[in-house]
Every structure is written in structure tokens, then in C-alpha cells.
């Protein structure tokens, strides 16, 4: 092993260890900045030596190029759905049927939380993650491997040489859901109704970088194909999956008999809202695997398992008033002030009304009696009014014409549902902008949260992001609840943020439509903020993944004197404005694949389809799923079919696998 190979291997092992501790064990052992530094070091080495890139490298989680569509995947073992139970009596009926079929007095069950997400299947061969698919209709799903690869808790390699297919639920944690909807609301986009819809929408994005941004998670709980030795019970299988490095929901329990099952169900009916993710029921499975063979399945579901479904929770209350808040991008959001009411285990006094159109559509009025529920058991929202209980004197609510924070006239931009304050000096927007600038995905200033920013703003210590880099120790020590240690830690975090790469600064500036992925794309392409400041609409639109709306927004943002003065001041204060990540290598630039559109077809012997695709992309090529006049090259393995025929008809250059291997080597 060369010194470079050893260095790359050690970096991968270290990052895998930190990744497992953070995302599976929920026990981070190093700061985010150290993890990012090691990751950037690995990416730089792999870009310099692309022949050493492995599909299970931590660098392969960041999301590749957009797909043209999802390929179909056949499930060799069908992914069946579960029959439902809605009461304790129905659980007892299930237990009675099981015991009668097995001729037993009592049966051991395993109870697991029913995660409200998207069912997926993961296939591993020779220890490497090969493919991930949706359930689909149970027999045929869709290949979403690239999107699943971005989930940090999903292992890209395991210590198991046999072929193994594991199944589980990909989901969006509550925290990620709130963050996503807040960002969409600020952009005037339609909100996701619940975490399940958000997770499903994220995993079915053709651009895996979008999935990577959305911070999904996964729990594994079952198997399909299994060549990993003899295991006698489902509970032993869960333990073995955990030993392999899969994230297993730790709340599962083995229950002796149906009475213990019902006790488990009742416990989680009460505790479900304490979880950081959404559940919609409890799954009950017969523990012994040999009993599964005896009990068999129906056409749709196994007879050895059942899902207890929680009832939907709604509540009726009175809408007292509507209050307004102004977000970072100037969006004015109405919120209902309610008479306190219990919903899903918590007291609710506020509920989302989304926007003016939503209020008009639902005909929501002041002092109405309304029905509320928690969208995905997280964010309370008003779902409807009860018109029969409406007093004749109730008033229609009308959104204001002027900003509630600064008094500037509000506008509705073409094609949007939101009202906006366009005043860049609006106090509410300035505070939200500071919060965003300091956030984890932006400048990541540890300790600088919403409450402290509010305090700093109210004491007139900060108004612009440049003010953060001019805070001094004496000013901070004079604030409430700011002791010596807190102040020193904050100042260190602010100083450390000066060394961030350009993409963090770009995202932190809060340019409309520029998210984490677009910021990275811009930083990588231009390298320096000055070049972005000077870029024209025509130049921006040529950059991959930068669309018309985003290009217009960037040009407008940097056209203002105030912004350019701010950038200059940040430089004076020592804030880095250059991209510090890996750059394109000479090998990439001079590659035969550079800027070529390539199609893979047939069975490859020496590489998997994903390995070939990743190799082409690392050398600057673009892999698509269908042959067209725009295709530059077709690489044909064994049993190539209609794609090969079409390529021959169109006169497209065709290589066999050996030609491809010789070229990349």
C-alpha cells in the first residue's frame, strides 16, 4: 500500500467512525469543523487520485449529478404491507389467530415503533452498498440509490461478505422538517404537509444534492434476501443488524404474550410526542422465525405481523387573534392565537395559517370556532372552521398593507402567495438574517443562537453581519447571562468562522433562491467572491444547476452598493472570501470523458454499474439513462439490448467493457 493509499484509508476509517458516532449512536465526539476539515482533505486526495475512489468512501454521500429518471428494480422477495389494528381488541384477535394456528398457549412478540416515513430496501454484496429501492407496488420499486447514499446513518459498507438485503424506513426528523418548511416559507414555496411527505419528496428528487440538503435519517428493521447464516428469532436478527452497523430503533421490546404487547402500545400512545421523529403506530411481529414459515402470508400481508395504528388527533378551540411575523426574506406569515387546547399530548396556543390565500380559502375569521391538528404531529395548523358555531358578528381577517415591523408597504411578487416587506433595513429581517448567517449550514458560529442575537440587536451591538466581527469582550460581558467562559467561547467561534470556505459565506448571506447546494456550486465554479460579484446573468446561467430565477436573484443582490460595501468590510475584518475545497484536476480536464454524455447498458463484469458511473463522472463525463442524438458514447456490457440497437442506428460510438477499462486505467 502506497503512502497516499494509506492516508486515504486512514481518513475514510476516521470519518466512518465519527459518522457512526454522530448519526447512529447520537454521540458526537469531534466538532463539526474538524469533521469538515477531514472530509475536505479526503475529497482533495480522491480528486487528485480518482483511481482510489471507492463507492463506500464517506465522500460519496454528498450527492452526484442529477438523474434523468429512476430505473425500475424488481424485489426478489416482495415488500409486503401490514394488516392494521385500531384497538386493543383487534390486537387480541390477532394473537388468538396466531396461537390457534401454532397450537400454543402463549407467543413471544417483538414490538417496534412504526416510523412514519418511506419504506426502502438496501442491497449489500461483498460488504458494499450496491442498491437502494422504494417499495413501489411491493414487487417493482424504483432505484433511489444515489439519494439513499446521502443519508449519513446508512452504512456504505458492512462486515458481511454474503449478499444481504435489509429493509427499513427512511424518514425526516422533526427538526429537519421544521427547518425545511421554514426555508420554503421564506422562499414563497408551498409547504410540505408532514415529515412523511417531505421524506418521500426528498428521496424522489432527481437531483441527489437536494436529498443531501434535507438531512434524512433511516431505521432498519427487516430483511429480504438473506445469506448471512442461521438466526432463529427476529429479536436476534435486530441485534445482528445493529452489530453490522445499521441504525436500529432502540425502543423495540420483546414481549411475552399479548398483555405485554398492549402495555407497550399504551406506553407509546402517551409518549409518542416526546420522540424527535414521527411515528404513526406500533408494529407487532411474532419473534420466532420458524413460526413465520408456518403462519405464511396472505396475498398482501404476512400473518405473523400486524400494525397498530394511532388514531388521528384533532381538537376544537377558539381563534382569538392573528399575529404576524416577518422572516429573513421579508415574507410576512400569519399565525393564529388560540384559546389553549390539548393536541397530541401538548398544550397548543398558536397555529399556522400559512398565508393570505389559505385564510381566504378556508374562510377563517376572528373569533371563529376552529379545528386544529398538528401537521405530522409537529406544527399545529388550523384545518377548518365550524361555521355552525360562528357568531354573526365575527370579522374577516385582512392582511395588512404595511410591514408590522418597519411600516414599509408590503408587495406580492408575481407568481407567489406570500406578502413581502422589501425594506432591507427592516429590523425583523435584519435579526432573522443574523440568525441565518450564524446557523450551522452557514458560518456555523457555535453559541450564537436566536436569543443571544435578539439581545445583541436590542442592545444595539449588532445590526449587520459585519458587526459580529467587531464585538469586543467588554460589551459581551455586560450582557445578561454572559459569563467569562461563554464570552470567550463565542469570540473563539466568531474568529474561527473567518476561515470558512466561500460556500458557507455565500449561503450565510441569504441570497434569495441560493441554498446550500447552489452556494457550493457557485463557490466551486468561480473560486472567489469578486468573480461572483462581477458575473453577468449570461455567465451565471451557463453554470450547471444555476437556473434563470437564481441567476437573476444573484445579479440583483450584488448590484446594490450596500451589499458590495458589506463584502469589502468583511474582507477587511479578515473573513475569507475564497473557495477552499478541492479543485478540478488536470486529469479530469484532459479526460476523454470531459463534457461527454455517456450511456451504460448491459451487464458489466469488472465493475458494477455504479462504479462505472462514478468513474465517468469523476473524469468529467455525464451518465444518462437513455440513448439520443445527444449521446456521445455507449458502453455496452453483456446482453446489451435496445439501447445498443438504437445507438447503432444513430451512428453513436460504441465501446465494450474492456475498451472502457483500458481507457480509465
Helix, strand, coil tally for the chain in percent (to 5): 40, 20, 40
Tell me the pTM.
Answer: 0.53
> Residue 547's closest CA among 512, 523, 510, 577?
512
In 239-254, which positions are buried (b, 16+ CB within 10 angstroms) versus exposed (e)? ebbeebbbbbbebbee
Instruction: Give the list of residues 6+ apart from residue 224 with CB closer than 8 angstroms, or none.
Output: 75, 76, 77, 79, 121, 165, 166, 167
Return phi, psi of residue 608, to 5°.
-80, 165
User: What whole-number percentage of the chain has pLDDT above 90?
Assistant: 48
> Residue 91's closest CA among 306, 367, 327?
306
Cβ–Cβ < 8 Å for 225, 163:
yes
Cell of 101: 394456528
Cβ–Cβ < 8 Å for 120, 110:
no
Length of the chain: 665
Compute the distance between CA of residue 293 and CA of residue 289 in angstroms, rounded to an integer: 7
β-bridge partners, 282: 113, 308
- The CA radius of gyration of the chain, in Å to the nearest whole number, is 28
What is residue 592's DSSP assignment? T
State the CB neighbour count (10 A cutoff) for residue 19: 20
Instruction: Look at residue 435 and give its three-state secondary structure.
Output: helix
The pLDDT tens digits for 524-568 are 889 999 999 999 999 998 887 788 889 999 999 999 898 999 999
Cβ–Cβ < 8 Å for 148, 63:
no
114 is catalytic: yes
Q: What is the pLDDT of residue 433?
A: 94
Q: What is the pLDDT of residue 255?
A: 97
Report CA dihedral (581, 618, 607, 39) to the nearest 10 degrees: 0
The pLDDT tens digits for 91-104 are 999 999 999 999 99
Cell of 79: 415488500
State the CB neighbour count (10 A cutoff) for residue 467: 16
Residues of the chain with pLDDT under 70: 23, 26, 32, 62-68, 227-229, 299, 312, 344-346, 375-379, 582-591, 625
SS (H, E, C) 522-588: HHHHHCEHHHHHHCCHHHHHCCCCCCHHHHHHHHHHHCCHHHHHHHHHHHHCCCCCECCCCCCCHHH
**CA-to-CA separations, 237 to 117, 126, 129, 280, 289, in angstroms, rounded:** 22, 19, 19, 24, 10
The pLDDT tens digits for 441-497 are 899 999 999 999 999 999 999 999 999 999 999 999 999 889 999 999 999 999 999
**Among 6, 48, 72, 114, which one carries the catalytic annotation?**
114
What is residue 110's DSSP assignment? E
Amino acid at each position: 500500500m502506497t503512502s497516499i493509499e494509506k492516508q486515504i484509508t486512514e481518513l475514510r476509517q476516521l470519518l466512518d467512525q465519527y459518522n457512526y458516532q454522530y448519526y447512529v449512536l447520537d454521540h458526537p465526539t469531534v466538532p463539526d469543523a474538524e469533521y469538515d476539515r477531514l472530509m475536505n482533505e479526503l475529497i482533495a486526495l480522491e480528486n487528485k487520485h480518482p483511481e482510489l475512489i471507492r463507492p463506500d468512501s464517506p465522500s460519496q454521500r454528498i450527492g452526484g449529478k442529477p438523474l434523468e429518471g429512476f430505473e425500475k428494480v424488481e424485489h426478489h422477495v416482495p415488500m409486503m404491507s401490514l394488516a392494521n389494528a385500531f384497538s386493543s381488541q383487534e390486537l387480541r384477535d390477532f394473537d388468538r389467530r396466531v396461537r390457534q394456528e401454532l397450537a400454543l398457549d402463549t407467543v413471544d412478540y417483538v414490538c417496534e415503533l412504526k416510523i412514519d416515513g418511506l419504506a426502502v430496501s438496501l442491497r449489500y454484496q461483498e460488504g458494499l452498498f450496491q442498491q437502494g429501492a422504494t417499495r413501489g407496488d411491493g414487487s417493482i420499486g424504483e432505484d433511489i440509490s444515489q439519494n439513499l447514499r446521502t443519508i449519513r446513518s446508512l452504512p456504505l459498507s458492512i462486515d458481511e461478505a454474503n449478499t444481504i438485503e435489509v429493509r427499513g424506513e427512511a424518514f425526516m426528523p422533526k427538526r429537519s422538517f421544521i427547518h425545511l418548511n421554514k426555508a420554503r416559507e421564506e422562499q414563497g414555496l408551498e409547504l410540505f404537509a408532514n415529515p412523511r411527505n417531505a421524506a418521500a419528496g426528498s428521496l424522489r428528487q432527481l437531483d441527489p444534492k437536494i436529498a443531501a440538503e434535507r438531512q434524512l435519517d433511516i431505521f432498519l428493521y427487516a430483511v429480504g434476501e438473506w445469506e448471512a447464516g442461521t438466526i432463529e428469532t427476529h429479536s436476534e436478527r435486530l441485534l445482528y443488524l445493529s452489530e453490522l452497523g445499521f441504525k436500529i430503533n432502540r425502543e423495540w421490546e420483546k414481549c411475552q404474550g399479548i398483555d405485554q404487547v398492549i402495555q407497550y402500545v399504551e406506553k407509546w400512545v402517551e409518549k409518542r410526542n416526546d420522540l424527535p421523529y414521527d411515528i404513526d403506530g406500533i408494529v407487532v411481529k411474532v419473534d420466532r422465525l420458524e413460526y413465520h414459515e408456518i403462519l405464511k402470508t396472505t396475498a398482501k400481508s404476512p400473518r405473523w405481523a400486524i400494525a397498530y395504528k394511532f388514531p388521528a388527533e384533532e381538537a376544537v378551540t377558539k381563534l382569538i387573534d392573528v399575529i404576524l411575523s416577518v422572516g429573513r426574506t421579508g415574507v410576512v406569515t400569519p399565525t393564529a392565537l388560540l384559546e389553549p387546547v390539548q393536541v397530541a399530548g401538548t398544550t397548543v396556543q398558536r397555529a399556522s395559517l400559512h398565508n393570505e390565500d389559505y385564510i381566504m380559502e378556508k374562510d377563517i375569521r376572528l373569533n371563529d370556532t376552529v379545528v386544529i391538528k398538528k401537521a405530522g404531529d409537529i406544527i399545529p395548523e388550523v384545518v377548518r372552521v365550524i361555521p355552525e358555531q360562528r357568531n354573526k358578528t365575527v370579522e374577516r381577517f385582512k392582511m395588512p398593507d404595511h410591514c408590522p415591523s418597519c411600516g414599509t408597504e408590503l408587495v406580492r411578487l408575481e407568481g407567489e402567495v406570500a406578502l413581502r416587506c422589501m425594506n432591507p433595513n427592516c429590523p425583523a429581517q435584519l435579526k432573522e438574517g443574523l440568525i441565518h448567517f450564524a446557523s450551522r449550514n452557514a458560518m456555523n458560529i457555535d453559541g450564537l443562537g436566536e436569543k443571544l442575537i435578539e439581545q445583541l440587536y436590542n442592545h444595539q451591538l449588532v445590526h449587520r453581519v459585519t458587526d459580529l466581527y467587531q464585538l469586543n469582550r467588554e460589551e459581551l460581558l455586560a450582557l445578561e447571562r454572559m459569563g467569562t467562559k461563554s464570552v470567550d467561547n463565542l469570540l473563539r467561534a466568531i474568529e474561527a468562522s473567518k476561515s470558512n470556505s466561500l460556500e458557507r459565506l455565500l449561503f450565510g448571506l441569504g441570497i434569495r433562491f441560493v441554498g446550500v447546494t447552489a452556494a457550493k456550486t457557485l463557490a466551486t465554479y468561480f473560486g472567489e467572491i469578486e468573480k461572483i460579484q462581477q458575473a453577468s446573468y449570461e455567465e451565471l446561467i451557463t453554470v450547471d444547476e444555476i437556473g434563470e430565477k437564481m441567476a437573476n436573484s444573484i445579479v440583483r443582490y450584488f448590484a446594490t452598493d450596500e451589499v458590495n460595501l458589506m463584502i469589502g468590510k468583511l474582507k477587511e475584518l479578515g473573513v475569507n472570501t475564497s473557495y477552499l475545497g478541492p479543485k478540478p484536476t488536470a486529469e479530469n480536464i484532459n479526460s476523454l470523458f470531459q463534457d461527454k454524455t455517456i450511456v451504460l447498458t448491459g451487464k458489466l463484469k469488472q465493475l458494477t454499474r455504479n462504479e462505472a458511473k462514478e468513474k465517468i463522472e469523476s473524469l468529467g463525463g455525464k451518465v444518462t439513462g437513455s440513448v439520443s442524438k445527444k449521446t456521445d458514447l455507449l458502453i455496452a456490457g453483456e446482453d446489451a439490448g435496445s439501447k445498443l440497437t438504437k445507438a447503432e442506428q444513430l451512428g453513436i460510438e460504441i465501446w465494450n467493457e474492456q475498451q472502457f477499462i483500458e481507457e480509465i486505467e
